[in-house]
Amino acid sequence: MTVGRFAPSPSGKMHLGNLFSFLLAWCSVRSAGGELVLRMEDLDPQRTSAEFAALIRRDLLRFGLDWDREVPCQSTRTAAYDAAFAKLEQMGLIYPCYCSRAEVHAASAPHLGQSEFVYAGTCRDLTPAQRAARKRAPAWRLRVPDQEWIVRDGLQGDYSELLSRDCGDFVVRRADGVYAYQLAVVVDDAENGVTQVVRGRDLLASAPRQKYLFSLLGKPAPEYIHVPLLMAPDGRRLSKRDGDLDLDTLLGRLTPEEILGALAFAAGLIDRKEAISAKELAAVFDWSRVRREDICLTL
Ligand code: GLU
């Protein structure tokens, strides 16, 4: 059975871009008679809140995007992340990193265009004495192999990375103890029995790292389908800043079905831009019609 998921970070309100990915994730699961779980990715206590989580649940339901069960949110899952971390440590794959830019943002998912750098391995082979001489609390990195990892993406085709060259050893736990997105998402997708991950194309580059982690933890990786991003008519990426993504503003002049219809039409799922409910869309849903290129949206 297909098990899909909504995995929002309650660090803000849901916007049109999130809605687009969630709509496709929902239609994919519902049209296959599968199950959908909701998981709040509230790893970082500084940046997320229960208020935003409540608003996200409300907004999903406004558009008819329901879920079958809500699984424990990430802030309650530290023991499971500890266990995975200990396993990787036993495998000799974890080391402390004292570099000052040790990924303050590691807890949040790295989206396209955000600065991510390939770690040079500075702290990879420090001696115990060198480690003891460091004064600051370390972040913890996972060693990556000199090996190509391929993701057969359901929409984007094959995507591969030579982890050592394209990614580098990555942070799995921050210096303040907060686990990084990459580790938490893999532990949770495995625990929740997720078989299909549908999310924005901006997270495609995280997929090889996640497949690597699944293999180390001895769990099967899900199927990945990375969906296009929404662009404004002038070609720039829609952004929260411009307000063109704000759902409350849009709902002031359009019905939920009109918004869904515009998204479905832009995705290539329906032939005319007309109002449609999520249920009606699931009945005609077909991945082979969904565009893979980023989508220009007019509302
Ligand atoms: N929680 C992540 C985000 O909102 C998404 C993670 C995922 O779908 O893997 O950016």
Ligand 1: distance of its center to the CA of 151 in Å?
17
Residue 169 lies in a domain: yes
Distance (angstroms) between ligand 1 centre and the Cα of 181 equals 8
How far away, in angstroms, is 108 Cα from ligand 1 center?
A: 8
* 3 state SS of 131: helix
Give residues (CB < 6 A) around ligand 1. 7-9, 41, 109, 185, 199, 203
| 135: DSSP letter | -
DSSP bridge pairs for 296: 231
The pLDDT of residue 192 is: 98
Claim to verify: residue 90 and residue 152 sit in the same structural domain = yes
Identify whether residues 51 and 103 lie together within a single domain. Answer: no
What is the pLDDT at residue 156? 97
Looking at the fold, whether 156 and 89 belong to one and the same domain comes out as yes
156-162 contacts, C-beta under 8 A, 24 or more apart: 156/201, 156/204, 156/226, 156/292, 157/292, 159/204, 159/207, 159/208, 160/208, 161/205, 161/208, 161/209
List of residues 6+ apart from 160 with CB closer than 8 A: 148, 149, 150, 151, 208
Residue nearest to atom 10 of ligand 1 (CA): 109
pLDDT reported for residue 158: 97
> How many domains is the chain built from?
2
Ordered mean pLDDT values, 10 residues apiece, the chain (299 residues)? 97 92 98 98 94 97 98 98 98 94 67 77 93 92 95 97 92 95 98 98 96 98 96 73 77 96 96 97 97 88
Ligand 1: centre distance to CA 201 (Å): 11
Q: Looking at residue 158, what DSSP letter applies?
A: E
Which of 105, 185, 201, 223, when mutated, tests ligand 1's pocket best, judged by the most ligand atoms within 8 Å of its CB? Answer: 185
Q: Decide: residue 11, CB within 10 A, 0-12 exposed, 13-18 middle, 19+ buried.
A: middle
Query: How many C-beta atoms surround the C-beta of residue 29 within 10 A?
Result: 26
Residues 120, 82 share a domain: yes
Q: Which atom of ligand 1 is nearest to the CA of 108?
A: 10
- Find all residues with CB under 8 Å of 187, minimum gap 6, and list them: 77, 80, 81, 84, 217
Radius of gyration of the chain (CA): 20
> Which of 181, 204, 219 delimits the end of a domain?
181
Residue at 273 is within a domain: yes
Domain-located, residue 252: yes
Do 170 and 244 have their domain in common?
Answer: no
Residue that is last in its domain, among 165, 181, 197? 181
Sheet holding 94-97: strands in order across? 94-97, 139-142, 170-173
Host domain of residue 282: 3-76+228-296
